[in-house]
Chains A and B, each alone.
Chain A
Amino acid sequence: MAVLLLAEVTGGELAMDATAKAVTAAQALGDVTVLAAGASAAAAGDAAAKIAGVSKVLVAEDASLGHRLAEPTAALIASLAGDYEHIVAPATTDAKNILPRVAALLDVMIISDATAVVDGATFERPIYAGNAIQTMKSSDAKKVITFRTANFDAAGEGGSASVETISAADNPGLSEWVENKVAKSDRPELTSAGIVVSGGRGVGSEEDFALIETLADKLGAAVGASRAAVDSGYAANDLQVGQTGKVVAPELYVAVGISGAIQHLAGMKDSKVIVAINKDEEAPIFQVADFGLVADLFDAVPELTQKL
């Protein structure tokens, strides 16, 4: 019972949080081999080898594997698939791009965004924006799964897995990377942050979104936003928390001026502690909040920032 886990590698570096959480999920299925693939991936492979519970690391370095283009990476994974019963990854946008392609190459179904492992063939996953949880049993010989990291604890460090270098598969040459526009930020990454402060339509403007950012910086938190705030242009696309955006589960989630549409709740309701600040006492967000403050955010947020 062997598991191949696609490590999350960005610019040659291992995204430790996402990868370590997926390792926890994968350990329930069998012996975990991590694949670190990229234009440069050796350092990421070494880092993955130190995750407790990883028994082997494969490092594939090739220019074609840079920027996570789906076709060459999927071809590589499919070529390795013979040795593994499970092929898994953290449910990042990269893995969501690649793993369904792998599954189709192997003629099996994908199980995306799994939130729990019942047994080697049976998994739980949310459907309808988290309004229902489905338990699914796979009849495929190989299971291809992405795990929603918000639902698993990160595996610890202290492993010492062997590292083996392998070569890339043939690059079909169907697509090329052009450029990245990465939001530069010193703040923690949204999906792995311990604290998230999110703003909604109630914040009212792009300028006033600074209120959210100031509070986040005070708390050492990542910044998130509701779809309404993103659509209104107050916040960048990649900050969207919700069904069609990021799913987060930090220790503390502070929702400011967010009414709490079900699609937003789907992205944050697994957070440990939820705080809601909204002037509308009927806002649905209060139904999931541990601590609700009915107040004008323009008074409450600066006060909170100052007193913390």
Chain B
Amino acid sequence: MDFNLSEDHQLLSNTLNRFLGDNYDIEKRNEAGFTAPYHLQDMWNGLAELGVIGALVSEEKGGFGGSAEDISVVFEELGRSLCVEPMLGTLLALRVLSDHGQDERVEQIISGESRAALAVYEPNMSCDLSAMEATAVEQDGVWRLNGRKSAIYGAPGSDFVVVAAKTESGTGLFFLENPVLICAAMVDGGGVADLVMENTAAECLALDAETSLTSALDLGRIALCAEAVGAMSALQDLTVDYLKQRKQFGTTLSSFQALQHRAVNMQIEIEQCRSIVISAVGQFGQPGGERNVSMAKNLIGRAGRLMSEESIQLHGGIGMTWEYPGAHFAKRLVMIDHQLGDQNDHAMRLIATGAKQLVD
């Protein structure tokens, strides 16, 4: 039983913490996150140089890590500095590409040469891949895609998109170069896109990639949860500092019990969130491990909203301003729940996967 980061992970975490701390302040982040292409190319290059993109893929697939723990270490640091770089979309695309022997493309992405995103979600679909409506049909040796994809994270500015669509044999994966995207910023910064496909020709990577997709999406969920933990601890630091400094009625806010108790509730939820991420990371790839992922996403969804609302309330008016960094953390924590299945979707998934024997 040891909950300390390994030496390598500690070093990786330190490197990212320092790199982002030195080069990525909140003004720069806010500027980039809401202006196309919704991220900073030099930061992306920097992350590639430091090997951070490679941390998302295993050594045998050309990366430098790829375990659930590697991913959680990276994303916790990204969350701490509220990084809008398209790491989530890259993670999803990298995982399915590396699962299907796309070594050359994987290598290009890891080196920062090109960027990819994964199109899975649709307006009428959340967690359940069987609800997917987009289709792929082979006609005269060419695969044609039809349907609409939405919430393609990190797609703006990417070089290609991997699209999931229904085939006769299951959920297939297709490769689309220079796609025509409907791009936008997200409410909390960073780029996202929709993709409308009408007999769009694409290269087929796999006819049935459901296992690979589920695994990639679960890693994405772990990444989001770890990101949330990083963002929560940064937000909590801001909130506690603010309560210690801000004076009203001649004394600091931190001397009021009503506020103290709210801050303590927040702290306990952060510890719980940290624990559930550890649980999801530890169980990833084990039988039933997807349940721990859903528990994590469910708890993080609830706790993220609590952290967000409480931190704004505890700050008072300043917490409502665009200028105050805490406001952006608060937004991110609520919006994380909208990505890759929210608390309700994951409660449904927990119910559907049934009771797990807790005592053996």
Which positions in B face A, CB cutoff 8 Å?
A: 242, 245-246
Contact = CB atoms under 8 A, between A and B. Distances in A.
Interface of A: 282, 284, 287
A284 B246 CA distance: 11
A38 B135 CA distance: 89
Contacts of A284: 245
Contacts of B242: 282
| Chief secondary structure at chain B's binding surface | helix
A201 to B, nearest CB: 12
Contacts of B245: 282, 284, 287
A281 to B, nearest CB: 9
A90 to B, nearest CB: 36
Nearest to B318: A282
Nearest to A282: B245
B167 to A, nearest CB: 58
5 contacts: A282-B242, A282-B245, A282-B246, A284-B245, A287-B245
B346 to A, nearest CB: 38
A257 B242 CA distance: 20
Contacts of A287: 245
- List 5 tightest A-B contacts by C-beta distance, closest first: A282-B245, A282-B246, A282-B242, A284-B245, A287-B245
A282 B244 CA distance: 10
Nearest to A286: B245
A220 to B, nearest CB: 34
A62 to B, nearest CB: 47
Contacts of B246: 282
Nearest to B242: A282
B296 to A, nearest CB: 35
A276 to B, nearest CB: 14
A87 B14 CA distance: 42
A58 to B, nearest CB: 50
A287 B241 CA distance: 13
A263 to B, nearest CB: 16
Contacts of A282: 242, 245-246
B25 to A, nearest CB: 12
A93 B242 CA distance: 38
